[in-house]
Structure 1
Amino acid sequence: MKRLLTSLLILGGCLSFQALAVDSTQQLATQAKQERVTQKKYNQQREALFNKSEQELKQLKSELEAKKSALDAQNTALAQTFSANEETLANLEQQLRLETGSLGEVFGVVRQSAKSLQAEQQLSVSSIDANQYIPVVNDIVAATKLPSMDQLTGLWFAFNEQIQASGQIRQVMLPFRTGTGTLETVPAARLGAYGVVGEQGYLRWSNERSDAQDYSKQPEPTPTLTLLSDATPFSMQSVVIDPSRGVILEQLALSPTWQDRLAAGGVVGKIILGLLIVGLLIALIRGVALTLTRIKIKKQLKTPQQPGKNPLGRVLSAYDKDKVHSAEALELRLLEVVVDEQADLEKGLSMLKLLAALAPMLGLLGTVTGMIETFQVITQFGNADPKVMAGGISMALVTTVLGLIAAMPLLLAHNILSSQAESIRNVLEKQGIGLVAEQAELDHSQPMAIKQDLEVQSQGAA
């Protein structure tokens, strides 16, 4: 019985498990079926999108192919038109060459001549009043076709106008720019095509601004409007003309004067000039004194018995025939007098020599100072612009020149004055030597006379 119950229980469990398994299998099958339906719908949607995109791409391809065909046809038509135009242009150029013939060369010559005349009109002062045909010349220069007969005639008149204006001295009224910037109308004289002269001299004319200004520096002699107005062809004097039409006159303003060069030397240059002036004063004073001394010595040589107030007179005064002294004592006395006179003769020459040696050293100092200033400018501005370095370079060069200029006359004056003093000293020494020789002869003759007197006295006693 128990076994039967157990079997029934096992059978019931199996049946229950089998029922559960059947239910699970049915659920899984239902779920898989639903998933397949969902996937099928999604695939159908994707296929629909792909089909739609494919249709759009096919339509776009068809449109592009149609456009390409249209562009190809247009390109072919344009190529044919271009070829036809090229052929037509070649035919027209050939026809132009045949019709123009040598006129093309004439057109080139006319344009070249017009350009030359245009440059002349832009640079020449004759455009102040000879400007009637300037527009005609400008039209010919800018033209791209053959000039007309009227233009050729105008070009001929423009050349004729410039030729006549270049040989005229003509009174004109022109706008003048004053130093304050105001514009005034003043009378002037045009000297051909070279310059314009006002009341104060040459005027700088500008064709771009159509006004005139003063030059900062005028040439010598300076032509004026009054001089040209009062002159006649027979009384006309020579007039300075700038053939470069103002370039040389502008450079004349840049050429420094001697005051500018001295100012460029700075403090060192002024010191050198001061030394030169002092040295020349010393040389002048000593030169006059030595000259007067030589004149007095020449007069003294003619009257040696009457010593005067001069170096030779004082030397002669040292010798006194009435006094009894030896030749050695007289020589020392004369040497003392000559030494005193030599010191007086050479007074100031040592200072003159010192100034002559000091001037080049100061010039070298100015050169070094100028170079230091130049290098400082280069350090500050970082370039080597001559205009920026002009101050230092001017000091470096001018002081050297001033030092040499000051040293040369001072050395020459020292040499001349030393030679004069040496010449006077030689005269004094020569006269002193003569006095010593005279005294030595006198000393030698006195013992001989005493001896002869003694001999005479002894013979008389006998």
Structure 2
Amino acid sequence: MKAMIRTIALGVGLSLCLPLAALAEPEQGKPLTLESLLQSVKQGRREDQAVNRERLAEFKAEQRDREKLLAEIKAERAALEALSAERESQFEENELLIGDLEQRLQERMGSLKELFGVLQQVASDAQGQFYVSLTQLDHPERGDFLVDFAGRMGQANRLPEIGEIERLWFELQQEMTESGQVVTQTRNVLTPDGTEEPRPVTRVGLFNAVADGKYLQFIPETGRLLEYSRQPDRYLGGARALSAGDAGPLAFAVDPTRGQLLELLTQAPNLSERVAQGGTIGYSIIALGVAGLLLALGRLVVLWLEGRAIHRQMANPEEPSAKNALGRILLAGRLHDEPDTETLELRLSEAVLEEVPRINRYLPLLKIVAAVAPLMGLLGTVTGMIVTFQAITLFGAGDPRLMAGGISQALVTTVLGLCVAIPMLLLHNLVQSRAKSLSEILQGRAVAMVASRAEAQG
């Protein structure tokens, strides 16, 4: 049994050593034998054992280094844990101390907290006012100071310095002083076409700035002066006089809202723009009114001339003239010198009836103009309301500007219709009364002629 085990072990050893023997190089002139192969295996084992010992020694040395490093790290962790515990205890002590100190500070500050609150509010309000003020062009650095000062006044543990409070008072006093000054300086002005030009700018207190007789708008975001694209023509007289350097008191329109009212005035439409809002119907009403006005004035001139001629004829009845109505009636009475008064009365009535239509000419047309004008205004009102309701249907009622066009047409045409109808009604009554007085004169003279003939026959 033992012999069999040895034989098997020898076979396994040979099977393992054959590859190594195949790799080993035989010595010069010596054949490869089992003994030489066994020696080579033994030598290889010794070399492997030496390498393993060296590696094991390296592993043990590295293990010792790692154990040393681990010990150092543990020692450092212990030290840091001790330091953390010390810092935590110190933090708790400091927190308690800070609480005591803050309580003592609050007790000692007393009513000063109200003062600091007032200083913070005043600084914040002043910064907001100075930001949109025209004096910001001269003192742009005060805004940073006020913002910083207001922020520090909001802190409970920050006491202001006397110099800071004095500077706040100085800035307020300086703003009040400059609110009553009129100062002229050369500054860059942004024109409506986008160019920037240096111009002499006159600042009227904190309210308005003018240059070359035009109002300027201050833009706080950019710190620039912008010329309004549209100027309030009604208030430009004082601005022009101020830019011209006129001496003495001047009538100047001051905007206490620092440009807000002035901007609204520049956006307000003028007369031509308001008329244009009426559209085609508005222009038609104006054309009708102009035609009616010219017709009424023409009839007044004609009747005035006719009245003068009639009065001259009344002063000289013995020499009738065919150039006036009364003269033609007198000529008709002389031409038809009838023996009886009834026939003469009929002839004179015929002559009067021929002259009265000439005097009352175009009176019905004036009355029609006075009646049609408000109806056209009502037509424009209805049309404008239709446009407004269409805009509401399409876009809703959220934006009033979408409905402004229809509402403007509705209101403007109504106003135009009334503005035409009222004067035309007055002119119609004036022309009618003038024509009626002349007709009564003609009828009276005709009756007088008949009465004179009746007296002569009697």
**TM bracket (short chain):** 0.7 to 0.9
> Any residues of structure 2 matched to 1:408-427 within 5 Å, and which?
408-427=422-441
> Any residues of structure 2 matched to 1:29-44 within 5 Å, and which?
none
Amino acid paired to 1:142: G
Map Cα deviations across residues 324-383 of structure 1 (whole Å, 9 max, x no partner).
432222222111111100111111111111111111111111111111111111112122
Between the aligned partners of 1:322 and 1:231, the Cα distance in structure 2 is: 78
Map Cα deviations across residues 300-343 of structure 1 (whole Å, 9 max, x no partner).
22222221122111112222399443222222211111110011
Between the aligned partners of 2:314 and 2:200, the Cα distance in structure 1 is: 77
* 1:237 correspondence with 2:253: no
SS at match of 2:239: coil
* 1:94 correspondence with 2:108: no
Could you tell me which of 394, 397, 400 is aligned with 2:408?
394
> Any residues of structure 2 matched to 1:239-254 within 5 Å, and which?
239-254=252-267
1:406, distance to aligned residue in structure 2 (A): 0.8
Distance 1:104 1:297, change over 3 A: same
Distance 1:408 1:86, change over 3 A: same
SS at match of 1:221: helix
* 1:317 correspondence with 2:331: yes
Larger Rg, first or second structure (1 or 2): 1
SS at match of 1:212: strand
Between the aligned partners of 2:405 and 2:375, the Cα distance in structure 1 is: 20
1:236, distance to aligned residue in structure 2 (A): 5.3
Corresponding residue number in structure 2 for 1:335 = 349
1:195, distance to aligned residue in structure 2 (A): 2.5
Distance 1:271 1:231, change over 3 A: closer
Map Cα deviations across residues 404-431 of structure 1 (whole Å, 9 max, x no partner).
1111111111111111222222222222
Distance 1:280 1:149, change over 3 A: same
Distance 1:332 1:188, change over 3 A: same
Between the aligned partners of 1:442 and 1:186, the Cα distance in structure 2 is: 92
Count of residues in Structure 1 that have an aligned counterpart in Structure 2:
363
Distance 1:430 1:188, change over 3 A: closer
Map Cα deviations across residues 249-297 of structure 1 (whole Å, 9 max, x no partner).
1011122211111111111111111111111111111111111222222
1:91, distance to aligned residue in structure 2 (A): 2.7
Distance 1:180 1:428, change over 3 A: closer
Paired residues of 2:211 and 2:243 also in contact (CA < 8 A) = no
Higher deviation after alignment, 342-351 or 178-187: 178-187
Paired residues of 2:238 and 2:251 also in contact (CA < 8 A) = no
Paired residues of 1:128 and 1:174 also in contact (CA < 8 A) = no
Between the aligned partners of 2:261 and 2:318, the Cα distance in structure 1 is: 73
Distance 1:239 1:263, change over 3 A: same
Distance 1:313 1:180, change over 3 A: closer
Could you tell me which of 242, 245, 266 is aligned with 2:279?
266
SS at match of 2:226: strand
Paired residues of 1:136 and 1:151 also in contact (CA < 8 A) = no
Corresponding residue number in structure 2 for 1:221 = 237
Corresponding residue number in structure 2 for 1:275 = 288
Corresponding residue number in structure 2 for 1:39 = none
Corresponding residue number in structure 2 for 1:205 = 218
Distance 1:112 1:229, change over 3 A: farther
1:83, distance to aligned residue in structure 2 (A): 9.7
Could you tell me which of 123, 128, 131 is aligned with 2:137?
128
Paired residues of 1:367 and 1:396 also in contact (CA < 8 A) = yes
Amino acid paired to 1:138: V
Distance 1:199 1:416, change over 3 A: closer
Between the aligned partners of 2:335 and 2:148, the Cα distance in structure 1 is: 114
Give the TM-score normalised by the residue count of structure 2.
0.72
1:188, distance to aligned residue in structure 2 (A): 2.2
* 1:301 correspondence with 2:310: no
1:231, distance to aligned residue in structure 2 (A): 5.2
Paired residues of 1:312 and 1:428 also in contact (CA < 8 A) = yes
Corresponding residue number in structure 2 for 1:365 = 379
Distance 1:286 1:199, change over 3 A: closer
Distance 1:351 1:141, change over 3 A: same
* 1:114 correspondence with 2:123: yes
Distance 1:95 1:409, change over 3 A: same
* 1:152 correspondence with 2:158: no
Paired residues of 2:214 and 2:236 also in contact (CA < 8 A) = no
Paired residues of 1:201 and 1:222 also in contact (CA < 8 A) = no
Give the TM-score normalised by the residue count of structure 1.
0.72
Corresponding residue number in structure 2 for 1:194 = 207
Higher deviation after alignment, 311-320 or 263-272: 311-320
Between the aligned partners of 2:107 and 2:244, the Cα distance in structure 1 is: 58
Paired residues of 2:208 and 2:215 also in contact (CA < 8 A) = yes
Between the aligned partners of 1:104 and 1:298, the Cα distance in structure 2 is: 95
SS at match of 1:205: strand
Map Cα deviations across residues 24-69 of structure 1 (whole Å, 9 max, x no partner).
xxxxxxxxxxxxxxxxxxxxxxxxxxxxxxxxxxxxxxxxxxxxxx
Paired residues of 1:319 and 1:330 also in contact (CA < 8 A) = yes
SS at match of 1:203: strand
Where structure 2 has 5 or more consecutive residues not aligned to the other structure, the ranges are 1-88
Paired residues of 1:133 and 1:155 also in contact (CA < 8 A) = no
RMSD across aligned positions (CA): 2.8
SS at match of 2:212: coil
Amino acid paired to 1:327: T
Where structure 1 has 5 or more consecutive residues not aligned to the other structure, the ranges are 1-79, 446-462
1:192, distance to aligned residue in structure 2 (A): 2.6
Distance 1:440 1:158, change over 3 A: closer
* 1:166 correspondence with 2:166: no
SS at match of 1:188: strand
Paired residues of 2:208 and 2:259 also in contact (CA < 8 A) = yes
Could you tell me which of 287, 292, 304 is aligned with 2:305?
292
Distance 1:189 1:436, change over 3 A: closer
